[in-house]
Amino acid sequence: MHEMAVAQSILTTISAEAEKQNAKPVIARISCGKLYAINAEALGFAFEAIAKGTTCEGTKLVVEHKPIRGQCRNCGEIFEFELTSPACPKCGSEDFGLLPDEPLILEDIEFLTE
Ligand SMILES: [Zn+2]
């Protein structure tokens, strides 16, 4: 299961950061491309399971999906690709390529401050 491996690597990163800050992580924000094959719910469950008994127990994972971007072959415009209107917003051309999907990134960790 892909999500378990991802959860494990996120947990390792958050734990290391928590140790450095000497604080309890409350929320971890993750972003990835829309096409990235990750199920946010499955990731949440996997993370919760492996975080039990660690400093990350109870840390909430928030996954944000970044839009897919396309680049127009006619005018070079880079735009957010929408399935509902698959055309360049600048020149209206339907001749465009899709840019590579965004990787999974741990954007931000919020710690409990007292
Ligand atoms: Zn264009």
At residue 1, the pLDDT reads 54
Residues with CB under 5 Å of ion ligand 1 are 72, 74-75, 77, 88, 90-91, 93
Asked if residues 43 and 72 have their Cβ atoms less than 8 Å apart, the reply is: no
In whole angstroms, what is the distance from residue 89 CA to residue 35 CA? 21
Q: Is 87 within the bounds of a domain?
A: no
User: Can you give the pLDDT of all 114 residues of the chain as single tens digits?
Assistant: 588 999 999 999 999 999 999 999 999 999 988 877 678 889 999 999 999 999 999 999 999 888 889 999 999 999 998 888 899 999 999 999 999 888 889 999 999 976
Output the CA 93–ligand 1 centroid distance in Å: 5
Q: Which helix (H) or strand (E) holds 12?
A: helix 2-21
At residue 73, the pLDDT reads 97
Number of domains in the chain: 1
Question: Tokens 């971007």 appear where?
Answer: 69
Task: Give me the CATH number covering residue 25.
Answer: 3.30.2320.50
Residue range(s) defining the domain that contains residue 41: 2-67+102-111
Question: Tokens 């996997």 appear where?
Answer: 46
